[in-house]
């Protein structure tokens, strides 16, 4: 999908600075900034290296600001925000930004037209910056100013005497090791001269951090500057890396990366604009854990690999896109980290022991395995490597494991202890669990039924009819108890969770999973009523609200400091990943009549690719129109669930073209636009 912005955006500071790009490297690292190159987050940087893939992230090189010296004078292309000012204001020279396979910037200044492309190389902590002199009246000098941070990506750095300012420069290659435990920084600038300076620039301000109520000021170290002369037609390929770039060519590396990404697009059917954009976005999240195992990053810029997000995302990122080997390695990676029948909730940033505070990631594992077998028919792998793990999980859940997770007499699953958050609605600030949901959560028990049913089916595939019947009987018991226990006659939908002495009747999207999972628990008139309640109370053009607006704890906006944001995280805030289960539910309940409806909804989502993380999908949105995007600019399950339902259900849609590309954010009603999917063009 060609995502292009002209001067009406690139030279409008407020419009441009809210848009961001990200290039990821398949290790958990990245290059990222705003559309105009002004860093607005502590997480922005030209080389953010994953030192313990996919974690251990270090913002190594924050920026590489450019200045042109031509006959007409000096022209700064960089852009930074300081206290009370933006300097320099290089965005006034940015005439075009385009995102195809890579982010591309076109500058016009002093009679020079300069095109810059940024490429993250898959499988290594390397960023390429490619310059092409499209036009130049005369020879000119390009000066490059590196600004070094060399700190943990969650932190900020300030001027200090501990940074090692010594640099080595040889054959166009700069080398510095800022701190004893930091990665080495190499910057290869062919044909350049380097002038050593060694001083700090103070008080960079990161506006997104300020808006989030976080520390937002930082100092960056400048070791010196590169200078070289360029002319019209020249090309300059720069390699920024944690490894020596000697003997490597930036243009050749970029060519290989381009070929790799183009191959990804060839692996998906119906490669129209929306599918192409989502397929490229999906690639950002699939990462290596080591040479044999893979994982999935939950979201950029601050999440690592989480068990729940990984299992929900795996079908959309890997199965519908044909990345079966990586899917296999992801399942194996998490299977090897089960403990007391539980998958990790998350892996830590610096290689510490995983955390296991969840109840549902383990159950989503069953769904991911089921989908994997359906797509690959890899029965030997599932039978030999995975089924013993599934059996161990069911045994632990049956007899009880951490956090009071256990099966009750009615066959339903109970989970929770005071002070812990175990479901996907997991916001917690200090000792405040915002949505504790201790007891029998509706989606957890829908997943529990699916886990038992899936395991019974796998046993049947393996020829073990006796044990298959045993687990089928357990599943049938859950099904009966579920329908008896969770139906809310007053509101004509499902209770959200059953507490020790009460039934929580908050209208939340969790009840959709009783309709959307591979094996539904509710059908007929009840299913129609559940879907109607969710559509009436929760559905928006960008996802589903996490709580209905008529609830006393509803929060319309996700903003402010950590307490305010986490207090709204699952109390109304819209989650785009829920469009996946919503589409599943619509198609299951409404059949062919629902295909046009969900097709229009997905088609209309195309506007979002231009408003936050360019070419990807945000984590969350405000609950009220115009639903501005919030949270991570790129979230794995947001991308994965959209791509999954489009390809899995073969929903054909009109290509996202000029109309969507020029559309700014509009109101709720305005965004229900007039594109329909002809039923005769839908592949079933």
**Tokens standing for residue 541:** 């053009």
- Is 281's pLDDT higher than 90? yes
- Is 655's pLDDT higher than 50? no
Residue 353's pLDDT band, with cuts at 50, 70 and 90, is confident
- Is 661's pLDDT higher than 50? no
637 within 8 A of 581, measured Cβ to Cβ: no
CA atoms within 13 A on the CB side of 476: 6
Distance CA 206, CA 208 (A): 6
pLDDT of residue 603: 86
Cα–Cα nearest to 162, from 177, 179, 175: 179
64-73, 90-99, 429-438, 668-677: least confidently modelled range: 668-677
- Is 616's pLDDT higher than 80? yes
pLDDT of residue 652: 59
Integer angstrom CA distances of residue 164 from 145, 176, 201: 18, 8, 16
Residue 206's pLDDT band, with cuts at 50, 70 and 90, is very high
- Is 656's pLDDT higher than 50? no
Indicate the DSSP class of residue 206: -
The boundaries of every CATH 2.70.98 domain in the chain are: 3-260
Burial (CB count within 10 angstroms: exposed 0-12, middle 13-18, buried 19+), residue 667:
exposed
58 within 8 A of 51, measured Cβ to Cβ: yes
Distance CA 305, CA 639 (A): 15
| CA angle, residues 651, 655, 661, in degrees to nearest 5 | 130
pLDDT of residue 273: 86
Non-local (6+) Cβ contacts of 553 within 8 A are: 506, 547, 571
Mean pLDDT confidence for 368-385: 97
Distance CA 319, CA 65 (A): 40
Q: Label each residue of 503-561 as H, E or C.
A: EECCCCHHHHHHHHCCCCCCCHHHHHHHHHHHHHHCEECCEEECCCCCCCCCCCCCCCC
pLDDT of residue 2: 66
- Is 579's pLDDT higher than 50? yes
Higher pLDDT, 271 or 523: 523
**Tokens standing for residue 387:** 């089924």
Residue 447 β-bridge partners: none
pLDDT of residue 270: 67
Non-local (6+) Cβ contacts of 428 within 8 A are: 421, 434, 566
Chain-centre distance of CA 420, in angstroms? Answer: 25
Distance CA 419, CA 430 (A): 10
**Tokens standing for residue 147:** 């600004």
pTM: 0.94
Q: Give the 3-state secondary structure of residue 387.
A: helix
Mean pLDDT estimate for the chain: 93
579 within 8 A of 645, measured Cβ to Cβ: yes
| Strands laid side by side in the 497-498 sheet | 440-441, 497-498, 503-504
Distance CA 455, CA 457 (A): 5
pLDDT of residue 341: 96
284 within 8 A of 272, measured Cβ to Cβ: no
Residue 1's pLDDT band, with cuts at 50, 70 and 90, is low
- Is 189's pLDDT higher than 50? yes
- Is 23's pLDDT higher than 60? yes
70 within 8 A of 61, measured Cβ to Cβ: no
CA atoms within 13 A on the CB side of 338: 27
* pLDDT tens digits, 92-112: 999 999 999 999 999 999 999
Backbone angles phi, psi at 207, to 5 degrees: -65, -35
**Looking at the domain that runs over 3-260, which CATH code has it been given?**
2.70.98
186-200, 289-303, 562-576, 663-677: least confidently modelled range: 663-677
- Is 495's pLDDT higher than 90? yes
Residue 201 β-bridge partners: 220
Residue percentage of the chain with pLDDT more than 70: 94
């Amino acid at each position: 999908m060609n995502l292009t912005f002209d001067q009406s955006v690139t030279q409008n500071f407020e419009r441009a600075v809210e848009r961001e790009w990200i290039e990821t490297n398949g290790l958990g690292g990245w290059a990222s900034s705003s559309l105009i190159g002004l860093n607005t987050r502590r997480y922005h940087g030209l080389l953010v290296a994953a030192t313990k893939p996919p974690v251990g992230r270090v913002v190594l090189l924050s920026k590489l600001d450019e200045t042109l010296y031509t006959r007409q004078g000096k022209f700064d292309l960089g852009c930074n925000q300081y206290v009370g000012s933006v300097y320099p204001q290089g965005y006034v020279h940015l005439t075009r930004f385009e995102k195809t396979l890579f982010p591309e910037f076109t500058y016009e200044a002093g009679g020079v037209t300069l095109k810059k492309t940024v490429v993250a190389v898959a499988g290594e902590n390397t960023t390429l910056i490619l310059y092409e002199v499209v036009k130049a009246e005369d020879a000119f000098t390009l000066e490059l100013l590196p600004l070094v941070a060399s700190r943990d990506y969650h932190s900020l750095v300030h001027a200090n005497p501990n940074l090692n300012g010594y640099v080595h420069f040889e054959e166009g290659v700069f080398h510095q090791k800022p701190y004893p435990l930091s990665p080495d920084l190499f910057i290869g600038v062919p044909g350049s001269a380097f002038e050593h300076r060694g001083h700090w620039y103070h008080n960079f301000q990161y506006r997104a951090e300020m808006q989030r109520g976080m520390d937002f000021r930082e100092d960056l170290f400048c070791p010196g500057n590169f200078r070289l002369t360029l002319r019209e037609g020249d090309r300059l390929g720069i390699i920024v890396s944690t490894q020596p770039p000697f003997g490597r060519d930036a243009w050749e590396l970029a060519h290989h990366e381009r070929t790799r990404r183009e191959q990804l697009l060839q692996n998906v059917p119906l490669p129209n604009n929306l599918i192409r954009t989502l397929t490229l976005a999906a690639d950002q999240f699939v990462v290596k854990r080591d040479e044999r195992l893979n994982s999935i990053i939950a979201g950029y810029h601050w999440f690592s690999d989480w068990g729940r997000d990984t299992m929900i995302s795996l079908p959309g990122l890997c199965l519908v896109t044909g990345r079966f080997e990586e899917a296999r390695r992801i399942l194996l990676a998490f299977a090897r980290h089960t403990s007391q029948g539980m998958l990790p909730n998350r892996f830590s940033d610096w290689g510490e022991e995983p955390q296991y505070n969840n109840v549902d990631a383990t159950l989503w594992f069953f769904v991911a395995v089921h989908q994997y077998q359906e797509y690959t028919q890899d029965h030997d792998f599932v039978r030999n490597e995975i089924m013993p793990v599934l059996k161990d999980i069911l045994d632990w859940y049956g007899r009880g494991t951490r956090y009071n997770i256990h099966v009750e007499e009615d066959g339903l699953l109970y989970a929770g202890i005071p002070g812990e958050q175990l479901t996907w609605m997991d916001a917690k600030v200090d000792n405040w669990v915002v949505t504790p949901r201790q007891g029998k959560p509706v989606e957890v028990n829908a997943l529990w039924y699916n886990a038992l049913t899936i395991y019974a089916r796998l046993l049947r595939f393996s020829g073990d009819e006796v044990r298959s019947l045993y687990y089928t009987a357990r599943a049938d018991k859950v099904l009966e108890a579920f329908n008896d226990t969770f139906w809310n006659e007053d509101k004509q939908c499902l209770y959200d969770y059953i507490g020790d002495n009460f039934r929580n009747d908050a209208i939340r999207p969790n009840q959709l999973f009783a309709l959307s999972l591979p094996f539904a628990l509710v059908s007929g008139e009840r299913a129609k009523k559940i879907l109607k309640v969710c559509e009436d109370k929760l559905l928006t053009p960008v996802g589903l609200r996490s709580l209905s607006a008529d609830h006393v704890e509803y929060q319309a906006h996700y903003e402010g400091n950590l307490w305010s944001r986490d207090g709204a995280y699952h109390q109304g805030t819209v989650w785009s990943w829920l469009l996946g289960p919503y589409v599943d539910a619509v198609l299951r309940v409404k059949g062919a009549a629902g295909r046009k409806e969900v097709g229009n909804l997905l088609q209309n989502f195309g506007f979002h690719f231009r408003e936050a993380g360019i070419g990807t999908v945000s984590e969350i949105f405000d609950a009220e129109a115009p639903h501005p995007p919030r949270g991570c600019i790129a979230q794995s399950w947001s991308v994965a669930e959209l791509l999954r339902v489009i390809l899995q259900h073969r929903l054909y849609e009109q290509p996202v073209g000029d109309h969507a590309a020029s559309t700014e954010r509009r109101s709720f009603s305005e965004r229900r636009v007039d594109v329909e999917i002809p039923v005769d063009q839908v592949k079933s």
